[in-house]
A and B are shown apart, each in its own frame.
Chain A
Amino acid sequence: MIYVKGVNQDQKWDEINVGGNITEGGTALDVNTGDWRIMIPRFHEDKCKQCMLCFPVCPDSAIPVQNEKRLDFNFKHCKGCGVCFKVCPFEGAITWEKEDK
């Protein structure tokens, strides 16, 4: 029986945890789920008033906040749900468009 930290698709059957157990916390951070999007929000800093309505409604962790300011989107976990765009009261601070892939 083995317990390893982290999994990747190169590991062989005897190099991964039995039963699929995950033996560390916060592992979802390492997984790119940002490739599910069809629509994408865009951040325009010049139009943003830093009202902070958007980041608490983000269902994932796509809106980083530092020193009381929201920064540009972190798209690694953004599913393109559009909740931030919907809640933003300021014209053009968050725009909503089809993502080109």
Chain B
Amino acid sequence: MGIRRLLSGNEATATAMKQINPDVVAAYPITPSTEVVHYFSQYVADGEVDTEFVAVESEHSAMSACIGASAAGGRTATVTSACGLALMWELLYVASGQRLPMTLAVINRALSGPININNDHSDSMGARDSGWIQLYSENNQEAYDNYVMSWRISEHKDVLLPVMVCQDGFITSHAVENIELIEDEKVKEFVGEFKPERHLIDGGPLSVGPYDTPHFYFEHQYQRAQAMKRAKQVILDVSKEFAAMTGRGYGLFEEYKMADAERVIVVLNSSAGTAKVAADQLRAKGEKVGVLKLRVFRPFPHAEVAKALSNAKAVAVMDKCDSFNGMGGPVFVDVRTACYDLATRPQIVNYIYGLGGRDVTVDNFLYVYEKLTEIINSGTNTDDIYRHVGVRGVN
């Protein structure tokens, strides 16, 4: 039986870190992820963990230190948000390209400008093609659970890719919720020991990160691409084992009232909860609406998403991040592409929402469901797929 606790998303993440007791944590504070570093450095100071805490001078250094620590065979973690993640950019590719396991808790925040410290997904969405696995969390419990599972996924021999565990800044990171923690011993047993096949201090000669000539670089990228594809099954296997331990089951995504749904909203992170409330209200009136909540965005479960949406008539894909590409946000582009191979495709539109901490309400989702009805009745055209909700003067 788990331990009931009242914790913010940040403290839940820090608690999971404490239970896992990584060898190295290198992190630099940035709102809204600062608390995680704050809590964890306290655990280090109090001797509650054995972790070597590296107080670096920037996020670029934090990720560099993590790369070194992971290459040396250490279980390694860091935490960041927004511009901090942006400053890690160069090294994100190095970490995944060198196939170094580690977990990065991303407390999602808008990338400026103008300067904004509130929530949206422009930070982690920007890093979606950096070779990192990305897990998204609706609430504090999921942030905690995904964090515990991330290590098994990252360190699996078929994967060896770093993992971002994302949750919404302030919305879940600072909101206190009742969650169920797993006992320390059980977490330790579940996560196990990190035993890389080779590492820099294992005694044998090893060079990590040598220059990769055109004769070999492409093959190494193909290896990384294959690892990302294999990660899907590993995530499912680890999640199954996690469910056996906790009773909390996770898939690649959650299907909420999807069985006969004609109108579907695809969404990730905390707004999924708001979308579910809207779906409940419409279901109470007998309307066939559902929510598909993505948990795994990288690797993108394209075949599974397409299958789940194959019976829908109209789909709205929500993006808390604008791609400024004249076409639509990142989740939209992937979901729409995934559905291309369906024999009969639903009509799919994009709604950019909630940027820079704009409040996301049940009414926003009711509005989107209503628009999906209009689309079913009158169709849409490709000039009108890239939409926004919650912008003054727009709707």
Contacts and interface: CB of A to CB of B under 8 A. Distances in A.
Which of B198, B217, B227 has the most CB atoms of chain A within a 10 A radius of its CB? B198
B219 A18 contact: no
B99 interface: yes
B102 to A, nearest CB: 14
A90 interface: no
Given A1-B197, A18-B99, A18-B160, A12 B208 contact: no
B212 A23 contact: no
A16 B216 contact: yes
Contacts of B97: 19
24 contacts: A1-B157, A1-B197, A3-B197, A9-B215, A12-B219, A13-B219, A13-B220, A13-B223, A16-B216, A18-B160, A18-B227, A19-B208, A19-B220, A19-B223, A20-B98, A20-B209, A20-B212, A20-B216, A21-B98, A21-B207, A21-B210, A22-B205, A23-B205, A25-B205
Contact of A21 (B157, B206, B215, B222): B206
B326 interface: no
A41 B216 CA distance: 32
Given A18-B99, A18-B160, A23 B198 contact: yes
Interface string A1-43: 1010001010111101011111111000000000000000000
Interface residues of B, number: 24
A77 B314 CA distance: 65
Q: State the 3 A-B residue pairs at the shortest beta-carbon distance, nearest first.
A: A25-B205, A13-B219, A22-B207
Interface string B190-219: 000000011000001111111010011101
Nearest to B200: A21
B131 to A, nearest CB: 11
A20 B206 CA distance: 11
Contacts of A19: 97-100, 208-209, 220, 223
A74 to B, nearest CB: 23
B224 to A, nearest CB: 8
Contacts of B219: 11-13, 16
B205 A1 contact: no
A86 B205 CA distance: 36
Contacts of B198: 3, 21, 23
B202 to A, nearest CB: 10
A20 B213 CA distance: 10
Which of A12, A13, A20, A25 has the most CB atoms of chain B within a 10 A radius of its CB? A20
Interface in B148-202: 157, 160, 197-198
A20 B197 contact: no
Contacts of A24: 205
Nearest to A11: B219
B210 A20 contact: yes
A22 B206 contact: yes
Contact of B220 (A1, A20, A22, A23): A20
B206 A23 contact: yes
A18 B223 contact: yes
Contacts of B217: 20
A1 B199 CA distance: 13
A82 B157 CA distance: 48
B310 to A, nearest CB: 34
B205 A21 contact: no
A14 B99 CA distance: 14
Given A1-B157, A1-B197, A16-B216, A21 B223 contact: no
A13 B215 CA distance: 11
Given A3-B198, A25-B205, A18 B210 contact: no
A18 B220 contact: yes
A12 B218 CA distance: 11
A7 B216 contact: yes
A86 to B, nearest CB: 29
B157 to A, nearest CB: 5
A19 B206 CA distance: 12
B206 to A, nearest CB: 6
Contacts of A9: 215
Contacts of A11: 219
Which of A7, A16, A19 has the most CB atoms of chain B within a 10 A radius of its CB? A19
Contacts of A3: 197-198
Contacts of A18: 99, 160, 220, 223, 227
